[in-house]
């Protein structure tokens, strides 16, 4: 009948495995028979503690190598690509002022332009934060159409914004302007000419003024979000109850 392997056998197997894994790069690998004989001799000689220490040090070295290879940027990129349908969405209302046209982005149904005046009803945009990686979806408040970029790089309006073509990555540039890069087509940006006409995504670059925008609240509308303020916390005072005459 089959019996469970002893602790010494398990340690020998661990040591044999480490002979192949924990070796300097470019070093000549040891013969399997030699590794096994060395492990057996350590057990027979009563050096089990030394074998255990060797196994632990080898495993510890493997963990350190794994930690050194961790790159947090890969985690951020993976989270940026993924859609977040669990977290609470943040909805904001503002206008996007185009640096080149001097006007605001308008969502005119299926047509997109950058000719809106300050306070124009078609220039008021509802911006929904999509995920932790600064992904947003932009919808015209008046038409309820979403700003999207199709596979040809053309800016269009769509009634359904669930497609990844309607998701953009918000980038804050060094000059304090904002750029909107397509989440589906990496390197393609929302951009407009001086006449307010949309530019195709493949012809845009991050350093072009055509893709630079500034967030502005609609004319005459107060700021929806309250600025962050520190609250002074004081000790709770003892409550004094009123005394009633007997």
Task: Check: CB of residue 99 under 8 Å from CB of residue 217.
Answer: no
Say how far apart CA 156 and CA 162 lie, in whole Å. Answer: 14
Say how far apart CA 73 and CA 194 lie, in whole Å. Answer: 36
Per-residue pLDDT of the chain (246 residues; tens, 9 = 90+): 445 556 666 666 666 666 655 555 554 555 656 655 665 665 555 554 554 555 455 545 554 444 555 665 665 556 555 555 555 678 899 999 999 999 999 999 999 999 999 999 999 999 998 656 689 999 999 999 999 999 999 999 999 999 999 999 999 998 899 999 999 999 999 999 999 999 999 999 999 999 999 999 887 665 555 554 555 656 665 666 666 665
Tally of CB atoms within 10 A around 29: 9
pLDDT of amino acid 91: 87
pLDDT of amino acid 110: 95
DSSP reduced 3-state for 134: coil
pLDDT of amino acid 219: 72
- For the entire predicted model, the pTM comes to 0.58
Enter the tokens of residue 156. Answer: 């269009």
Q: How many residues does the chain have?
A: 246
Buried b (16+ CB within 10 A) or exposed e, 31-68: eeeebeeebeebbeeeeeeebeebbeebeeeeeeeeee
Task: Check: CB of residue 143 under 8 Å from CB of residue 97.
Answer: no
Burial of 175 (0-12, 13-18, 19+ CB in 10 A): exposed
Say how far apart CA 75 and CA 115 lie, in whole Å. Answer: 39
Name the residue ranges covered by the structural domains of the chain: 9-21+30-68, 91-216
> What's the DSSP call for residue 246?
-
User: Would you identify the CATH topology of the domain 91-216?
Assistant: Trefoil (Acidic Fibroblast Growth Factor, subunit A) (2.80.10)
């Amino acid at each position: 009948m089959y019996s469970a392997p002893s602790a010494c056998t398990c340690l020998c197997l661990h040591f044999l495995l480490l002979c192949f894994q924990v070796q300097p790069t470019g070093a000549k690998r040891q013969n399997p028979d030699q590794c096994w004989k060395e492990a057996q001799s350590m057990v027979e000689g009563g050096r089990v503690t030394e074998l255990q220490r060797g196994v632990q040090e080898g495993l510890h070295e493997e963990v350190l190598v794994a930690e050194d290879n961790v790159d947090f940027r890969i985690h951020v990129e993976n989270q940026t690509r993924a859609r977040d349908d669990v977290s609470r969405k943040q909805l904001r209302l503002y206008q996007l002022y185009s640096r080149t046209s001097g006007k605001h982005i308008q969502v005119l149904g299926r047509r997109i332009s950058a000719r809106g005046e300050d306070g124009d009803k078609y220039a008021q945009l509802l911006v929904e934060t999509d995920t932790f990686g600064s992904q947003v979806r932009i919808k015209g408040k008046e038409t309820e159409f979403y700003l999207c970029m199709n596979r040809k790089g053309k800016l269009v309006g769509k009634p359904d914004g669930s497609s990844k073509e309607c998701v953009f990555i918000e980038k804050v540039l060094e000059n304090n302007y904002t750029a909107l890069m397509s989440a589906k087509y990496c390197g393609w940006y929302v951009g407009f000419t001086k006449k307010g006409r949309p530019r195709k995504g493949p012809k845009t670059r991050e350093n072009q003024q055509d893709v630079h925008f500034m967030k502005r609240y609609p004319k005459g509308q107060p700021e929806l979000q309250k600025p962050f303020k520190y609250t002074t916390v004081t000790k709770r005072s003892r409550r004094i109850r009123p005394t009633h005459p007997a």
